[in-house]
């Protein structure tokens, strides 16, 4: 089963990459763009076939390895 984990910085946490991209977009003439946030997307191909178990496994993986839950949040989607 395919699992997609999206990890983003929590609201209120400074995102220097997002700021740099926002500044570059403004410099390139792209007006009207608000806050830019940068994150990461990780896809996993799990052997698990039960959706509930796959989601639980993905959450455990995200909490233990993929996300720093102090400053990041994550979302899991089955695909």
Query: Which sequence spans correspond to the domains of the chain?
Result: 2-78
Q: What is the reported pLDDT for 35?
A: 95
At residue 56, the pLDDT reads 97
Parts of the chain with a pLDDT under 70: none
The pLDDT of residue 79: 83
Top CATH class, 2-78: alpha beta
Is the pTM higher than 0.85? The answer reads yes
From the list 46, 36, 64, 62, the residue with the least C-alpha distance to 2 is 46
70/61 Cα distance (integer angstroms): 15
Share of the chain above pLDDT 90, in %: 99
């Amino acid at each position: 089963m395919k699992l997609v984990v999206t990890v983003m910085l929590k609201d209120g946490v400074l995102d220097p990459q997002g700021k740099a991209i926002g500044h570059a977009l403004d410099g390139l003439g792209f007006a009207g763009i608000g806050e830019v946030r940068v994150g990461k997307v990780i896809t996993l191909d799990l052997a698990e076939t039960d959706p509930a178990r796959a989601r639980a496994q993905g959450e455990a993986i995200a909490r233990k390895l993929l996300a720093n839950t102090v400053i990041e949040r994550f979302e899991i989607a089955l695909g």
